[in-house]
Amino acid sequence: MSLNACAALVEKADPERFRAAMAAPVPARKILFPLYAFNVEVARAPWVTKEPMIAEMRLQWWRDALEEIAGGVKPRGHEVVDALADVLDVEGAKLLDGLIAARRWDIYSDPFEDQAHLDSYIDATAGHLMTTAARLLGQGDLGMVADFAYGAGVANLFRAIPDLEERDRKPLLDGSEAGVLALAQGAEARLARAITARRQISAAAAPALFAGYLARPVLRQIRKDPGKVARGALGLPPLRENLRFTNVALRGWWR
């Protein structure tokens, strides 16, 4: 029942990852849905309250749950925690703890300190989730997964810019078109490196990357027209998005 609850939560709050998980074999879904449900809970924790202290407490609750899982003790009662405890190991718990720590940035309105700070945020929030999923599905070499996750994470950040700015956040170091283009090109370079190394991903772990199916077209759109970020005009029409996802799921995540 806890797995069903995770799937329902992801379906409602994160339809792209829900679609990605449903395209995976059934055994893989038992790993992906708890991870994606955990990500939903953590990602929304900073936004459900305007009180920073309460948001900090919500994130700490999840850090404590991960500590219980890593320590091998019976974790607190919660449907997502129950499902997560069934699939997560110590290494995964530590990586996801880093994801939660990075999400503290979402609570406050301070800008990123520098490029290294922004990169570490993307690597933790997008990278730790995807690499944990891939490793639990059987992937050994995670370098190319981390590169792919960075590209997908930056693409998702760009798509969220209008909403983040409306919430008084400062998600970009340089919001000019030149700055946007530079960040997109850096992300596209890491994405291209992952695609070059695509033979390193095992067939069993490939579904962990399905959730990044929009990364390549979004970064290409920015390269052609950086102004689309400010206009909130990124993404594909529904029919083209459906066709792209089908292509990715059937023929390869690198398409």
Q: How much is the pLDDT for 107?
A: 96
The C-alpha atoms of residue 182 and residue 203 are separated, in whole angstroms, by: 33
**Residue 42 · residue 35 · CB < 8 Å:** no
**Pair 126, 249 in one domain:** yes
Read off the pLDDT of residues 151-196 as tens digits, 9 standing for 90 and up: 999 999 999 999 999 999 999 999 999 999 999 999 999 999 999 9
Read off the pLDDT of residues 213-253 as tens digits, 9 standing for 90 and up: 999 999 999 999 999 999 999 999 999 999 999 999 998 87
The C-alpha atoms of residue 53 and residue 66 are separated, in whole angstroms, by: 20
DSSP SS3 for 24: coil
Rounded to 10°, the helix 52-71/79-87 angle is: 40
The C-alpha atoms of residue 158 and residue 111 are separated, in whole angstroms, by: 15
**Pair 99, 124 in one domain:** no
Share above pLDDT 90 across residues of the chain, in percent, rounded to a whole number: 93
**Pair 166, 238 in one domain:** yes
**Pair 221, 125 in one domain:** yes
How many CA atoms, within 13 angstroms, populate the side-chain half-sphere of residue 219?
24
**Pair 72, 198 in one domain:** no
Task: Report the number of distinct structural domains present in the chain.
Answer: 2
Cα dihedral 202, 6, 210, 181 in deg (nearest 10): -130
**Pair 196, 79 in one domain:** no
Domain boundary among 108, 126, 144: 108
Domain boundary among 108, 129, 156: 108
Q: Which of 172, 192, 195, 194 is nearest to 183 (CA)?
A: 172
Helices within 45-176 (DSSP H only): 52-71, 79-87, 90-103, 115-122, 128-136, 143-166
**Pair 149, 203 in one domain:** yes
Backbone phi, then psi, for 123, in 5-degree steps?
Answer: -60, -35
**Pair 103, 168 in one domain:** no
Handedness of CA 168, 53, 112, 146 (dihedral sign): negative
**Pair 184, 146 in one domain:** yes
Domain residues for 182?
114-255
Domain boundary among 108, 136, 156: 108
**Residue 137 · residue 28 · CB < 8 Å:** yes
**Pair 155, 255 in one domain:** yes
Radius of gyration of the chain from Cα atoms?
A: 17
**Pair 104, 122 in one domain:** no
pTM of the model: 0.96
**Pair 132, 233 in one domain:** yes
